[in-house]
Amino acid sequence: MDIFLQQIINGLVQGSIYALVALGYTMVYGIMGLINFAHGEVVMIGTLVTITVAGTLLKAGMPVALAGMAGLMAAVLVCMALGWALERVAYRPLRHAPRLTPLITAIGMSIVLQNLAMMLWGRNYMTFPSLLPKVDFELAGANFTAIQIIIVLVSAATMGGLLLLVYRTKLGMAMRATAQNPAVASLMGVNINRVIAAAFVIGSALGALAGVMVGTYYEIAHYQMGFMLGLKAFTAAVLGGIGNLAGAMLGGVLLGLIEALGAGYIGDLTGGFLGSHYQDIFAFVVLIVVLMFKPSGLFGEKTGDRA
Amino acid sequence: MQAKLSAIAFSVAAAFALAGCGQKEEPKAAAPAVPAGKPEVVVKLGHVAPMTGPQAHLGKDNENGAVLAVEELNAKGMEIGGAKVKFELINEDDAADPKQGAIVAQKLVDAKVNGVIGHLNSGTTIPASKLYSDAGVPQISGSATNPKYTQQGFKTAFRVMANDVQQGKILGEFAVKQGVKTVAIVDDRTAYGQGLADEFRKAAEASGLKVVATEYTNDKATDFKAILTKIKSTKAELVFYGGMDAQGGPMAKQMKELGIKAKFLGGDGVCTPEFMKLGGEATEGNFCSLPGMPLEKLAKGPAFKDKFTKKFNTEIQLYAPYVYDAVMVMADSMKRADSVDPAKFLPEVGKTNYDGVTAQIQFDELGDLKGGAISIYQYKGGKLEYVETLGGTPIETAKAEVKEAVVEVKDAAKAVAGAATAVGKEVAAEAKDAAKAATEAGKDAVKAGAEAVKNAADATKAAVEKK
Amino acid sequence: MKNGQFFRPTVSIGLLATVLVALPFVAALGGQAWVRILDFAILYAFLALGLNIVVGLAGLLDLGYIAFYAVGAYTWALLASPHFGLHWPIWAILPLGAGLACFAGVLLGSPTLKLRGDYLAIVTLGFGEIVRIFMNNLNAPINITNGPQGITLIDPVSFGAFKFSGTTQIFGLSLSGPQKYYFLLVALAILVIIVNLRLQNSRIGRAWQAIREDEIAAKAVGINTRNLKLLAFAMGASFGGIAGGIFSAMQGFVSPESFSLIESIMILAMVVLGGMGHIPGVILGAVLLTVLPEVLRYGVGPLQMALFGKMLVDPESLRMLVFGLALVLVMRFKPAGLWPSPERKRELQEAAP
């Protein structure tokens, strides 16, 4: 039982990380129907900026809490600027282009960001400074740490905050209007350029937050770390129904749980035929099965013809 | 129509561009050295390693080793076939990519090199070895450890480093010596990790260890908690990891977080300073292995280290001494054959018995290093500490061979005895035939056994003499 | 069109043919390595044209195309190597590889028929990964694919006694291995171009176009969208399978790392960059993306040395950076690709405000 509980905790934490990244994807997709393939790279930049800023400040003798906060702030600011620039330079000019065009641009931006990061930070794996004291808990034989609790709480809070933003504020209303029909929204006086830019900036700020969480948890960073993470998170977003905030959260957690429980138990269930080497495909198999029955994800609204 | 025109224009332009590139390459591709009584003969040695990409630093290290060897050879001024020989190194970059490995291998074959040193990675070495074999160019790698490289049956493929089979075996034996009873094995599903883990498993099981869990991850993963939790439930006493430091470090860390007390053991992929950096305190007390022996323990090691650091003003990364030896073995074979023609000196490479920096280099029938030594290290206080060297000494291998031979002879004797009783008991024609066959088989076995004993004895003698 | 009358189609085709025949010999002046690069360029053009059927003609976004290539490559590797001790002839394996890939295409196509755009993209991406991971792991409990170690010593293409590896003399001409493969690949590429051309202007091609533009409308006018979509997947996949077989034979070695997601993305980039649905454009995209990195490899390092006297940025990273930037810039200024089909160009101009 303690092992099962431990696997649930593992899955929940991993899933919350996916969810945090998936929220960034869904935010952009929900409004303009664009897969921002470079979002994983934004997360990576967030982690690396924090390493540089917090690392330098720690070396200069600043207390851990302050250095950590400064690192987070710097990461959020850099990523917001990056998100804004991405939208302005790469995506806005393509709003009327054929729909595969922005996808290729996004892939191109992803390659560019990865290689820029490699030039700036080098190709080696880096250690992330310890920003949180190591506190271990034990519950019925299962171990977990403070950072794990924080990750779960942060993703839940982020989703809550986003829901409030989208359904309770004026900007949120403008976002929903733009998502419904950009042309009509602009006739109603919504500045859709500004709304879309806002979505990118908010999504990227979330990416930075996710980057800091990932860094603090694994204490390791690398210029290629964003790609796989982004892919998994994107899968999570689609699983939950892309464009739906609660769906992204649930999709993320579900994906994390599937992976942990799959890796933990599939071997025993299939008599050793399948094992943890198939961990990466559980997610895709579940995704395909879900989409066969619900073509727009678990909580997705029926998409129109735009996709 | 315009579309078609531009297509033509493009193709023509491409053709010219290619031709242009060709002209630049021309001098390189000039005719090979032919020793026709000329005073000087140029011997071209190709060297391939990734000069770009994540392993560029290791590639540069290999190149330095080769450069050092070639400079020394030229300074010494060798004479082969009555002519003075000048060695020339052609460095190529394969970026650790199999496809590019084949392209640069083709390039070297085109340039009619006399021999190839490299490549660095097994993944590029294996596909490239086919091209060298087709062209009859001898290839000696100083770092490709995948057993497959030499098992393809190519007469041109050699390596001067212990392969993964040898390393996995020694790691398995070492695990037994640690007094553990149950082990869990994790590998990263790369050619390197899986190969090493498989050999470890064989050795561990052969010496009575129980493998209680086999788990997998990949070479891009950062989260290992699910598989580690499963390992925790099996209460394994030792976790073996076949893979690289970038995953091994965080894995060791997460083991600690989950409260797993098992020891952590890995191969050369986790025997790096990087592993300690990424694993932090969790690496303390862990073991890992490196092929070969530490330079300090080798007769010519410290001298080589001095030479190297003086010349390049940088520390040896990993494989430079092996690459250096690879070049030397190639030159030595040419000297013994008294020819730089690959077809003539290739047979001599197989007969090498060269006293190198890293070992007394001899090849077995496959082209693998005979009795490659493996050293075990332990992480202590943030440093790698040498523990011991296992395998590799000629005397020990010889002893093992004698043991095997004795067993074979015994089996053969048993077979003969069995056949004899069969003859005695049954007089029927059929039984007679069978017995005849059995006796013959027995005879053969005895012969083989005797031969093995003789070989082993010779080897022992040679080893003792060397000592 | 003004200058068109001076160059009749036959003349330009003749000229093109001459260039195509001469190319491997010209490239050989720079060494066989360049011929090998040329081979890869045509192989990728072949792949891109296969994907063009799915993406360009039928408008189905496929991010897992490499899976079919992998199926073809492994079919060849397993049936013509010492791994199982089988050495089947080409006329048996290549169609079988194409057939298996086709089957995989239908397998992928059938559950995804209802999906649109981005959902389809992620599912095909997942499918590609599933195939790769299976190839990587099917060495236990029964060793089928030899896992991450890959399969070596794969037989080269041969027709009877005529082998494609090594050098042979024909009519006094000395033909190297890569040069022979070049002609084989050109022949195959011409085949796929003809298929593409015939499809484009056929009933099927027009039906695909209708589905691409508006699926509901297509259904409404009586087009069997289900069968046509499956057909697109199956045809695209078959070409991927053939390309895979040739790749396997040419390399003599396959391992799962050759079939990663980034390869799928590369092939898609070739199609989109060149000009979706337009055959010359797709070929241009494939040739550019294969040759450009090689040219950059030979160019970037020496250029830096000449300009600054030392290596400021290592060529490999600059190469990828330039590549990424090229993708972004081309899409920014030529959203329909470098060489779009005339109709597509017109549509875009009309659509733009």
| A13-69: pLDDT as tens digits | 999 999 999 999 999 888 888 888 899 999 999 999 999 999 999 999 889 889 999
Q: How far apart are CA A131 and CA A112, in angstroms?
A: 30
- Averaged pLDDT for residues A162-172: 93
Residue A156 in this model has a pLDDT that exceeds 80: yes
**Best residue in C118, C261, C265 for a mutation probing chain A (most A CBs within 10 Å):** C118
Tokens of C348: 């875009």
**In the predicted model, what is the mean pLDDT of chain C?**
85
pLDDT, residue A144, reads 86
- Where is average pLDDT lowest: B18-22, B144-148, C44-48? B18-22
Look up residue C219 and give its amino acid.
K
User: Which residues are paired to B290 by β-bridges?
Assistant: B375
End-to-end CA distance of chain B: 81
Residue B4 in this model has a pLDDT that exceeds 70: no
pLDDT, residue B273, reads 79
The closest alpha carbon to A300, from A252, A246, A240, belongs to: A240
Better-predicted residue by pLDDT, A300 or C37: C37
User: Which residues are paired to B362 by β-bridges?
Assistant: B353
- Averaged pLDDT for residues A223-239: 90
Rg (CA), chain A: 20
Q: How far apart are CA A224 and CA A122, in angstroms?
A: 11
End-to-end CA distance of chain C: 28
Q: With pLDDT > 90 as the criterion, what percentage of chain B qualifies?
A: 33
Examine residue B119 and say whether the peptide bond preceding it is cis (omega within 30 degrees of 0).
yes
Residue C160 in this model has a pLDDT that exceeds 90: no
Nearest CA in chain B to A142: B258
pLDDT, residue B26, reads 37
Residue B320 in this model has a pLDDT that exceeds 60: yes
CB contact under 8 A, A119 and C313: yes
- Averaged pLDDT for residues B163-172: 88
> What are the distances in angstroms from CA C174 to CA B132, C6, C170?
20, 37, 6
Q: How many CB atoms lie within 10 A of CB B28?
A: 16
pLDDT, residue C203, reads 92
> What are the distances in angstroms from CA B139 to CA B119, B326, B348?
9, 9, 13
Q: Using an 8 Å CB-CB cutoff, list chain A residues near B217.
A: 276, 279
Q: How many CB atoms lie within 10 A of CB B418?
A: 14
- Per residue in C225-245, pLDDT tens? 999 999 999 999 999 999 999
- Per residue in C131-143, pLDDT tens? 999 999 988 778 8
Count of alpha carbons within 13 angstroms of residue A221, beta-carbon side: 33
Q: Using an 8 Å CB-CB cutoff, list chain B residues near A125.
A: 245-246, 249, 274, 277-278
B317 inside 8 A of chain C by CB: no
Tokens of C286: 């494939």
Confidence of residue B10 (pLDDT cuts 50, 70, 90): very low
B301 inside 8 A of chain A by CB: no
Contact C67, C259 (CB under 8 A): yes
Residue C334 in this model has a pLDDT that exceeds 60: yes
Q: Which of C129, C317, C331 sits opposite A104 (nearest CB)?
A: C331
Q: Using an 8 Å CB-CB cutoff, list chain C residues near A295.
A: 114-116, 119
Q: How far apart are CA C102 and CA C97, in angstroms?
A: 8
Q: How far apart are CA C297 and CA C318, in angstroms?
A: 9
Which helix (H) or strand (E) element contains residue B126?
Answer: helix B122-135
Residue B14: phi, psi to the nearest 5? -60, -40
**Best residue in A41, A105, A224 for a mutation probing chain C (most C CBs within 10 Å):** A105
Residue B2 in this model has a pLDDT that exceeds 50: no
Confidence of residue C61 (pLDDT cuts 50, 70, 90): confident
Residue B162: phi, psi to the nearest 5? -60, 140
A165 inside 8 A of chain B by CB: no
- Where is average pLDDT lowest: B19-23, B190-194, B358-362, B379-383? B19-23
- Per residue in B258-299, pLDDT tens? 889 899 999 988 888 788 888 888 888 899 998 888 888 888
- Averaged pLDDT for residues B321-330: 94
**In the predicted model, what is the mean pLDDT of chain A?**
88
Confidence of residue B428 (pLDDT cuts 50, 70, 90): low
Reported ipTM exceeds the 0.95 cut: no
Residue B266: phi, psi to the nearest 5? -150, 175
Angle, helices C261-274/C66-79, rounded to nearest 10 degrees: 120
Better-predicted residue by pLDDT, B403 or A215: A215
A115 inside 8 A of chain C by CB: yes
Angle, helices A279-293/A245-269, rounded to nearest 10 degrees: 120
- Per residue in C173-213, pLDDT tens? 778 888 889 999 999 999 999 988 888 889 999 999 898 88
pLDDT, residue A12, reads 95
Residue B412 in this model has a pLDDT that exceeds 60: yes
Q: Which of residues 56-85 of A touch C (CB under 8 A)?
A: none
pTM for the structure as a whole: 0.81
Better-predicted residue by pLDDT, B123 or A148: A148
Q: How far apart are CA C201 and CA C214, in angstroms?
A: 18
**Best residue in A103, A274, A302 for a mutation probing chain C (most C CBs within 10 Å):** A103
- Per residue in B183-193, pLDDT tens? 999 998 888 88
Examine residue B50 and say whether the peptide bond preceding it is cis (omega within 30 degrees of 0).
no
Contacts of B448 (CB under 8 A, 6+ apart): B408, B412
Confidence of residue A278 (pLDDT cuts 50, 70, 90): confident
Residue C247 in this model has a pLDDT that exceeds 60: yes
Contact B120, B48 (CB under 8 A): yes
pLDDT, residue B431, reads 52
Q: Collapsing DSSP states into helix, strand and coil, what is residue B389?
A: strand
Q: How many CB atoms lie within 10 A of CB B170?
A: 26
